[in-house]
Structure 1
Amino acid sequence: MSGEFKLLRQDEDLVSFIAGQLAGRKDLADCVVIFPGRRPGHFLRKQLFEAVGKSFECPAIYSMDEFVSSLAEAAGAVGPEIGELDAAAIMRDLEAKTPSLGPLAGKGAVDLDWFLPWAFKAFADLEEIKKELVSPRDLGSLDSGLDAGEGAGMFKRAKDFSGKFGGFSKLYGAFYAELERQGLRTQAMKYAAAAEPGALEKAGLANKGLVIMAGFFLLSKAEQKLIENLFKLPNFRLLAQEGPGLGERLAFLVKKHLIPAVKPYKAPVPPEGKFTFHKAADTHSEVFALNRIIDKKNCDEGDVIVIPAPAALFPVVHNILPDFKDNNNIAIGYPVSHTPVYSLVESVGKLLDRADGAAYFIPDYLDLVFHPYVKGVLRGNSPELTRIILQVLQEHFLGRMSRYASLAAIETDGEFLDSALKRLAHYADYKDVAAADITAHLRLIHDAIIRPFEKIDSVGDFAAKLLQLVSFISASTTAHRHPYWEDFSGTFLSVLDGISGSRLAPEGFRDRPSYFKFFGAAVKGAVYPFEGTPVKGLQVLGLIETRGLKFKRVYFLDANADALNVTGSGDAVLSDFMRGLLKLPTCREREAARKYYFETLLGGAGEAHIFYRDNSKSEKSPFVEELLFRLESAGADREALEDKVFFNLNFGNKEPEAAPKTPQVMKKLEATAFSPSALNNYLACPLKFYFTNVLGLREQEEVSEEISRASIGNIVHRALELFFLRGNRLGRPFAPGEFKDELAALKVCLREALLEFHLTDTDRGYGYVMYRQIEKRLEDILHYHIEGLGAFTPLAVEAEFEAELELPLSGIVRLRGKADRIDLRQQAASYGQPAVSKIVIVDYKTGSMAKVPSWHGFTLETPRPEWSKTLRSVQLPVYVLLAMTGKVKLAGGAKDHVTPALKGLTVNDFDARLMMLGKQDITEESLYKPYSHKLPDVPSAFAKYKGAVCALLEEILDPDRPFEPTKREDDCKHCPFKVMCGRQWVKE
């Protein structure tokens, strides 16, 4: 007599069927039930209690892992169970003392940095091979087969693998032999022991009541052998639920004549109204739609929200579950690698990885200290002081171009400490804080979070330091106020305990960053279980947790290919090709299992709502597409089936509103000295002028990894300023000596400029690269001045002008500007004009896109909205206007060579030029550059420019003319205010 097999329909409840088989039996306590996981057992106990109606001795209900462990123990396969950490250490020892293994991980004499990631993957593969009951001899024969098939088509790939990991099959035998010798066990060894003949008898299963195994699909060879052995028991019952692919999974039992052939699965046509599909823009939209449709009044354990990937869990926790209060239960694993405490460790690792000795990369440092836990470090009972200090520190680094700093330098930076004290003076609670207190507070953070990891002795030492870090975060920051801190940190600490107690603890890595990479690998599979035992209210489960369960209403979130389907062979040493040769589960089998669980879950539901993202990065799962196709084939209308969950947005391009000129605004404008850049802002867009020059708004700067073009321009400007200020170069014709001597002098000025802008790390890394680039550009600039400019006399650098201009309507206004350099140049005869001497105002441009006005294209009669297209910029005309009518103030107390040179000059004696330092070939663009081989009439051209400047100023000072947005959207491309004004659709 042998066991029995029962195939249930999809609409039958597997747990209820088992409860019906067991309830009322006198030997109930002697019965055994085995499910794939633990979850169905909770539902079975509840149903048995409802059926029996009183307290009773429950049958033994196991998950498969628990059942196998009990069989292995009964069979004498006992011993401590090891995980991947101890397994990796044992493999490493084997490689060292067993030369015949050859180089593991594809390298000889490997260090831990290289070996460990490989060992973690290899252990997972070895365990799968062990579960498939492959003997070392069988695996070794595969090597021989590969040798024989060298060059024969598909075997070529396998041969390549064998050549790279020649010792893999030998490692398999040696590894498990070593575990047996040491009396150790792995999960796969327990499965192999449970599948041995006699294991069931030793566990006394023949003397039990009913032994029921239910809800299985994908089975390893060990599980198959175990089930074959169970069929020898007359009290055994195997229960399965019809679904796609089940016949193929149970074919091994059909071949043994233990069960009848399973009929090919034919998906039923779903009844009308059972399925509703919700297409949303993102996961949050899915959750909002779910919140709208879920039945909050009549919800119990027959309702389930299925979350196949963890991204949707917390949106559900925060937006759905509060309405259910205590009437809900979560049973899903949340990855530790998704938690804030893990991201903190990642940030520390990144900071140390890119450190240069004792100096840390400032963008990485700021990323770390602005982590929610770090900026939440408490002083007293408040994190406010920490946040103020860190905000000032960020602003301080914005003004510095150096990208590296040591912790000690940060703690004692006088400029930063002064700025912090000034900021704290505005807070009543912190007026008494001294510079020493700020230093001590920063040192506290550095000592707890960064400095311990500067020297790591071993894996165990690293784990101990992480433990201290978690303890500090728990006791000294706001982290403990987070509702899940205790749960997440507890799981985190369990991982650290495992590392500390492993055989790897005494080992050490060669490189410091490897400790953090190792930790990432060790944490990869760790989850906080969110494991609920009560079967109460709305259930929130992962797809795997739904195995064997039936629900009246299913709400399935994120039914997308990236969350629901299987892609690739995962993080394994063995490719899918090799897994196929070894009869291990491949992508195909894992995909089939997911499809089976998906179909059986939905097939047994009375009502199902399927949500998925529909955007450029996500597509619905093929499982969903197939379901939609079946419904369409049965006559359903896809449009009617799909509920489109999108925000009701109006993407109409509303014109930005003009800003009125209030009395307060007019008062500010009347007191303003207008600069060329301010007038350029107004020319491009009056609304931009309002934001920038009236409200004083600035784009929020960030400490980026690269030095900005503007910062590089400032360095070049300052180096050239110092160069012309020195060596008696101003006020006399430029007569350079030997090029190498002039270049050496310019390099000295460059180094001084770098120090002024706090770019001090020019001997390494990115700072060195930038220094070399700027140095090369300055060399090119010096060549241009010597070989390309001809005769000139530099009169002044960084010359400030201020002048008054009388407008017909608005009266006197003030203009103010600073010229990079003023030269007296001898201009050669050209285009029929004689050689003349001219005052040339030079403006350095380190970009390559600046343009001068078009004297031939612009007229005062040009429609005002088109001025920015032809007038382009009033910078150079304003410089000439200032030089002709204003007073000059020179930098550094330099001798005034400008004022005497300007006496008695007319507009014909002036020119202004952009020196294009950012172009590959340095050039100049003159305010009066030739067009069609002719030069302009300077007085008439300048009269147009002056008229335009006066017209712009009249507009600015006209109280009845609001600040209107530009009508040319091209002017909005690079504007930092386009989101504020409503033209964010204009792309750069």
Structure 2
Amino acid sequence: MTTFILDVLTDLKKQDVNFSELTFILPSKRAGIFLKHELHKVVDQTLFAPDIISIEEFTEDLSQLKSISNTELLFEFYTSYLQHTKANERDSFETYSKWAQILLQDFNEIDRYLIPQKQIFHYLSAIEDLKHWSLEEPKTAFVKRYLSFWNNLFSYYSVFSNHLKQKKIGYQGLIYREAVNHIEDYIKANPKKQHVFLGFNALNTAEEFIIQALLRDNLAKVYWDIDHFFFNNEKHDASFFTRQHKKNWRHYDKNPFNCVPQNYIKQKNISVFAIPKNVGQAKQIGSLLDKIQSINKTLQNTAVVLGDENLLIPVLNSIPEDINSINITMGYPLKSIPLASLFEGLLNLHKNNSNSFYYKDIINIISHQFIRPLLQIDGQDFASILIDAIEHNNLIFIKHSRLKELSQSANHIIDLLFLDWNISIEKTIKNCSTLILSIKSHLNEDKAANLLSLEYLFRFNALFNELSRLNATYHHINDLNTLHSLYKDLLSSETLDFQGEPLQGLQIMGMLESRVLDFETVIISSVNEGILPSGKSNNSFIPFDVKLENNLPTYKEKDAVYTYHFYRLIQRAKNVFILYNTEADILTGGEKSRLITQLELEGIHYIHQETVTPQVPTLVNSLNVIPKTPELQQSIIQLAGLGFSPSSLTNYMRNPIDFYYQKILKINTHITVEETVAANTLGTVVHNTLEDFYKPLQGKVLSIDLLKTMKSKISDRVAYHFQQEYKEGDINKGKNLIIFEIAKRYVSNFLDYEIKAISDGNTIKIMSIEADNQVKINIPEFDFPVILKGKVDRVDEYNGITRIIDYKTGSVMTNQVEIVNWEDLTTDYKKYSKSFQVLAYAYMMHESNTINLPAEAGIISFKNLSSGFIKFSKKESTKTRAKNSLITAETLEAFKFELTKLILEICNPEIDFIEKEI
């Protein structure tokens, strides 16, 4: 295929120009590489290469000003702002930076389009005064300060621009304005130097002035990359700017308009794919590349153009493995590198200026992939030691001194991470740099395996060196919030460049990088409204009507820029694949771009349209099955000998797999930090408090005086047991204080319940508290012993009737301890697990001759204390209200039958552990 660059060079060759004496000026540096590559195709003799520069380089040379970064520009402007703002009206640097970036963009636009500065700034000031407060008297201090800001805009601009010019630096707009001021001097100094401008489209006023000045003196040629089809269609936005240039430039009154080929109407294969989700687009790009390579055997003249550059990483992960030659013009965002999350976490941690640190923040930092290796000292993993200590002691907010106490010989790393970050900004930046050097020292131990990580470190070291330089030069960073904000600004603009050969293989680029370049096969992603084109946005202090009046670009011009780039990409291509996201669950998704609709309505090309749906495999939900191998059977027999508890048996009833994990594999629930007291912790505290009160009274009859004495000790004993169970967690505020008070209320209400029962003439005698029980179950089918064991919360005699009591801090209803069919005991876990537990306790105590029958067994629910002692009952049917609450020998015999059935199932080698659907 013939490219635009080759067309230009061929035309220059026909004019018999001396290429060595030409200066090519292009929209970007990247296009210069391709121009050099094409040059040998038209040159048949040895020559010195021409000068090939970008428009930015050319204007810098004209203006004698050097461009500086946006961040440094922000610092320079703040210096001017401080000098011309009253002390009581100055914003902090952090506040200033939020509006200054917008104002600097406006300065840039005003200068690029050569707008008279004083006129527009006074106009803006008058608008604000008129729009809001011109008639309001007296004006408040806030209003005066607001209007003062607008009145000072021209002063800010004047002082700032003069300051930059004195330092020989500038932003793009100022450089362009100065270039215009120096163009006549440049022409006089270079009366014979020939310039070739190619590939330009949307020129600002400064660029137009410079190019026209060179054209006027026959020192330039301009080649426009526009197709005949667009150029002759006055309503087509792809030629919006080029039509204006031809109409308004005097040069074209007498000279031809160069380079208007007819490529767009040539036959093309255009396909439009509607795809859900961004990751779906990435996968489709991978599939398309695989097909293209299988057909063409190469991807040499193929480009993937990302409308949304955030798609870069998913696309890279979707490229087929057999594609080896790739060139990526976009850099990998530094903010996506794992090291970014480390410094983000550290700066967030310390900017709160607290004496203690939240445990999750600490765990995130010490678990980070770049930090954890530093905490592995002498074969010990101090990160794990710290995490275990935090979880075991329930530490929620932890001071640096406690961290040092727990970290032992890793203190130097803990100091680096958590000590003295708030002393000064210099100290904070130094800590970051020292941490980078510590990580580097570790990675250098295996340098070959850590080359990429070392590159990460190098870039972050450069970033913090830049922050250090800015702080040392300008002294505007006064707190960690400001430093953090600047860190994020620098991070968002930095990239890690990929290595590749720009002229070989598959090209992956953004829309702007595609300027001047042509490819035979083009894949364009994210062609959605809000992306291509980007839609209406007004990140400016200049109102829309003022922009129109001063010929500043609005969203209309920006849309025309996107339209030009889109059509320019496909005008010479033979194969075009356009992808857009059909999902409406993101701000820029769901609606295909108007550019696709325009392609369809033009009717020039047949467009293949396809909706791509992801292949979703059918997943069969299979329940987990653990076969009972001989080894597993031995473990079960061993467990039976040690003893089944009622809770373990109900656990099996709920889900056999959980029983297998917990009792056979001994996988316990992971201990986690309780920020809010958990329900089981509350239950344990209440149980242990009541044990303290009632254990000394075993064998004694309760009296009102004894119970009242207990009430006076509630607060101390509950606090003691919270300390034992909740460790170093704070119960003095928030939800935990409420739960602490609930625990005291539960105990107090229970004692009041006991006092009332005695006051009503009832006799209560404590038989045992937290009594351990263990009995052997005779099961003829087994040749190994089976033990049932458990601890009963309380056994007492109530008016001569033995009661077996299980405490519950949760809510328990009467129907949960009533049963009609005995077989339901082991099949309906949700409803009858509590009945099973209390019957198991009754069975064990009867078998060990601890109680006499008949007896009662049931639950006291602290959350439902008004129900009193909720007794286990046997009902003959669901329709009758009659029930029997006494535990008799027949009751226990029926229970034993169901218990034996359950244990037979657990120990049966033919019945596997099968997961239940819950």
Which band: TM-score by shorter chain?
Answer: 0.7 to 0.9
How far does residue 929 in structure 1 lie from its aligned partner after superposition?
10
Give the alignment partner of residue 67 of structure 1, picking from 53, 58, 63. 58
- Cα deviation for residue 272 of structure 1 reads 6.4
3-state SS of paired residue (2:293): coil
Q: Distance in 2 between matches of 1:637 and 1:730?
A: 97
Q: Secondary structure at the match of 2:518?
A: coil
Partner residue in 2 for 1:361: 358
| Worse-matched range after superposition: 228-237 or 397-406 | 228-237
Q: Distance between the aligned counterparts of 1:964 and 1:867, measured in 2?
A: 16
Distance 2:145 2:215 in 1: 43
Query: Partner of 1:674 in structure 2?
Result: 644
> Which of 291, 294, 298 does residue 293 from structure 1 map onto?
291
Distance 2:26 2:518 in 1: 14
- SS of residue matched to 1:52: coil
Counterpart in the other structure of 1:110? 91
1:448-847 equivalence runs, <5 A: 448-451=416-419, 454-458=421-425, 460-477=426-443, 481-502=449-470, 507=475, 511-530=479-498, 534-557=502-525, 566=534, 569=537, 585=553, 589-611=557-579, 617=585, 622=591, 627=596, 630=599, 641-642=609-610, 644=612, 646-647=614-615, 649-651=617-619, 653-656=620-623, 658-672=625-639, 673-698=643-668, 703=673, 708-722=678-692, 724=694, 731-733=700-702, 735=704, 745-757=713-725, 759-762=727-730, 768-789=733-754, 790-791=756-757, 796-807=768-779, 809-810=781-782, 813-819=786-792, 821-822=793-794, 824=796, 826=798, 837-846=801-810
Instruction: Indicate which of 360, 364, 367 corresponds to 1:370.
Output: 367
Cα distance in 1, alignment partners of residues 539 and 645 from structure 2: 61
Q: Which amino acid aligns with 1:465?
A: N
Could you list the per-position Cα deviations for residues 131-168 of structure 1 after superposition, in whole angstroms to 9, with x for gaps in the alignment?
Answer: 3434133122122134334599xxxxxxx999857514
- Classify 1:410/1:923 alpha carbon distance in 2 versus 1 (closer, same or farther; 3 Å): farther
Q: Distance in 2 between matches of 1:385 and 1:591?
A: 61
Counterpart contact for 2:3–2:518, Cα < 8 Å: yes
2:803 maps to amino acid:
I
Please name the residue that 1:927 is paired with.
872
1:644 is displaced (CA, Å) by: 3.5
Q: C-alpha separation between the residues in 2 aligned to 1:633 and 1:246? A: 13
Counterpart-to-counterpart distance in 2, 1:199 and 1:514: 41
Q: Residue deviations 1:524-580, cap 9 Å, x none?
A: 222234376742332222222111211112234555668766377487777989977
Residue 241 of structure 1 aligns to a residue whose secondary structure is coil
Counterpart CA distance in 2 for 1:512 and 1:938 is: 71
1:259-274 matches, cutoff 5 A: 271=267, 273-274=269-270
Inter-partner Cα distance in structure 2 for 1:748 and 1:878: 34
Partner of 1:304: 303
Distance 1:856 1:488, change over 3 A: closer
Match of 2:857 in 1: 911
1:92-143 deviations in whole A, cap 9, x for unaligned? 444444347x98xxxx443344334443444344333433434133122122
Q: 1:862 to 1:87 in 2, by over 3 A?
A: closer
| Equivalent position amino acid for 1:785 in 2 | F
Partners of 1:295 and 1:603 in 2: CA distance: 22
Post-superposition CA distance 1:153-203 (Å, at most 9, x none): xxxxxxx99985751462353244244146133223544434635515525
Query: SS state of the match for residue 715, structure 2?
Result: helix
Out of 238, 241, 247, the residue aligned to residue 249 of structure 1 is 241
1:239 maps onto 2:212 in alignment? no
| CA displacement, residues 58-114 of structure 1 (integer Å, 9 cap, x when unaligned) | 2222222212111212xxxx4x654444444444444444347x98xxxx4433443
Amino acid at match of 1:844: K
Hey, what's the Cα distance between the residues in 2 that align with 1:339 and 1:725? 60
Determine the structure 2 residue equivalent to 1:186: 170
Contact 1:14 1:241 in 2 (8 A): no
Change (3 A) 1:624 1:776: same
How many percent identity over aligned positions? 16
| Distance in 2 (alpha carbons) for counterparts of 1:674 and 1:161 | 78
Aligned to 1:891: none
* Distance change (3 Å), C-alpha of 1:81 and 1:267: closer
* Structure 2 unpaired stretches of 5+: 135-141, 231-235, 758-763
Secondary structure at the residue paired with 1:815? strand
Structure-1 separation of matches of 2:460 and 2:563? 33
Q: Residue 637 and residue 743 in structure 1: after superposition, are their counterparts in 2 closer, same or farther (change >3 A)?
A: farther
Q: How many Å apart are 1:28 and its aligned residue?
A: 1.7
Structure 1 residue 399 corresponds to structure 2 residue 401 = no
How far apart are the structure 1 equivalents of 2:744 and 2:175?
74
Helix, strand or coil: the match of 2:573? coil
Secondary structure (helix, strand or coil) at the match of 1:211 reads strand
Query: What amino acid is aligned across from residue 452 of structure 2 in structure 1?
Result: Y
* Farther off after superposition, 285-294 or 37-46: 285-294
Does structure 2 conserve the Cα–Cα contact (< 8 Å) formed by 1:276 and 1:641?
A: yes
How does 1:64-103 map onto structure 2 within 5 Å?
Answer: 64-73=55-64, 78=65, 81-99=67-85
Amino acid of the structure 2 residue aligned with 1:15:
I
Displacement of 1:332:
1.0
Cα displacement (A) at 1:345? 0.5
Q: Does 1:140 align with 2:112?
A: no
Q: Displacement, 1:781?
A: 0.9
Superposed CA offset, 1:457-498 (max 9, x none): 13x444333222222222224796444334444433333333
1:13 aligns with 2:3: yes
Partner of residue 829, structure 1? none
Q: Kindly indicate whether the alpha-carbon contact (under 8 Å) linking 1:329 and 1:534 is maintained by their aligned counterparts in 2.
A: yes
Q: Is the 8 A contact 2:707 2:751 kept in 1?
A: no
What is the TM-score with the length of structure 2 in the denominator?
A: 0.82
Alignment coverage as a number of residue pairs: 873
Residues 884-899 of structure 1 mapped to structure 2, 5 A cutoff: 884-886=846-848
Q: Residues 684-735 of structure 1, C-alpha deviation per residue, up to 9 Å, x if partnerless?
A: 2333333333333456565576554444544454455445558x69945264
- Counterpart of 1:214 in structure 2: which amino acid? L
SS at 1:402 equivalent: coil
Are the counterparts in 2 of residues 31 and 60 from structure 1 also a CA contact under 8 Å?
yes
Letter in 2 for 1:389: F
* Residue number in structure 2 paired with 1:123: 104
Deviation at 1:647, TM superposition (A): 4.2
Q: CA offset at residue 851 of structure 1?
A: 6.5
1:122, 1:925 → 2: CA distance? 74
397-406 or 172-181, which deviates more: 172-181
Matching residue's letter, 1:659: I
C-alpha spacing 1:148/1:674, structure 2 compared with 1 (3 Å): same
